[in-house]
Amino acid sequence: MIEGWAGNLRDKVKVDEKTGVVTFDVTAKDVAGNANAQLLYDLVNNKKVFEFFAGVGGDGKEAASLFVDGTGNFSRKSDSKQFEERGSLIGTKGREGQAQPAGDVFALIAWNLSFVVRQDSSDVPTPSSLAKAAVNAGKKQEVPFSALYVHEASENLAFDSMGKTTFDSADYGNAHFAAIEREALIRQQGNLRGGFAGGSLSLSRPITTKCKRNKR
């Protein structure tokens, strides 16, 4: 997925097999005008730590271990349950009402790939005509996980740009609009298809059935 964000600069991306740390050996001039590559550049060159996790059903404990073991709804037991039953576990250090990433991680984005995410037909507030067009184009389609990571990463870059250590609901509104705008631009450039991650979403588990084999 990360290499895909780089587009024709994918040969400049390296992922350390042991640590998972991503490097992107390009300059700001190299990515100018390429919204997807710009996102990767902004993440890699940010002084804060952004961590991505992708798992499936049964990986809740591992995902929860990346967060602070808080109390109540933010204990690791609750975090694990959320990952298993609600499909994601996302935290920004200092944001109200969220699980907090452990250690020096600023933003932690964990998705359960066992879920199917779809954009429904609802309208959502948008900051521009570009974003509104992107929301309308994605309605009733499955949202690719790459778009979900794009949106959440963009949101957290917006949080960081505020220069604050705590974030409230108003800050979230501003960060969400910024993420919608960036995702829409990436989509306009042809780097994202399907549902729009900044739209109104529903998550469900795929239905699996077992076929009985007739004995002969």
The reported pLDDT for the residue numbered 210 is: 46
Query: Between the CA of residue 99 and those of 22, 154, 174, 191, what are the distances in Å?
Result: 24, 19, 20, 31
- Distance between CA atoms of residues 202 and 91, nearest Å: 20
Residue 81: count of CB within 10 angstroms of its CB: 15
Q: What is the CA radius of gyration of the chain?
A: 18
Which residues make beta-bridge pairs with 202? Answer: 118
The reported pLDDT for the residue numbered 90 is: 97
| Length of the chain in terms of residues written | 216
Q: What angle do CA 35, 1, 150 make, to 5 degrees?
A: 45
Mention every residue, 6+ apart, whose C-beta is less than 8 A from residue 106.
48, 49, 50, 92, 93, 156, 160
- The pLDDT tens digits along the chain (216 residues) read 888 899 899 999 999 999 999 999 999 999 999 999 999 999 999 999 999 999 999 999 999 999 999 888 899 999 999 999 999 999 999 999 999 999 999 999 999 999 999 999 999 999 999 999 999 999 999 999 999 999 999 999 999 999 999 999 999 999 999 999 999 999 999 889 999 999 999 999 865 544 444 444
The reported pLDDT for the residue numbered 64 is: 97
The reported pLDDT for the residue numbered 79 is: 96
One-letter amino acid identity for 38?
A: Q
DSSP 208: -
**DSSP three-state, residue 214:** coil
Which residues make beta-bridge pairs with 201? Answer: 119
Largest CA distance in the chain: 71
The reported pLDDT for the residue numbered 207 is: 58
- Distance between CA atoms of residues 31 and 150, nearest Å: 16
Q: What is the pTM of this model?
A: 0.92
The reported pLDDT for the residue numbered 205 is: 84
Q: Is residue 176 within 8 Å of 198, Cβ to Cβ? A: yes
Name the strand (E) or helix (H) holding 45.
none
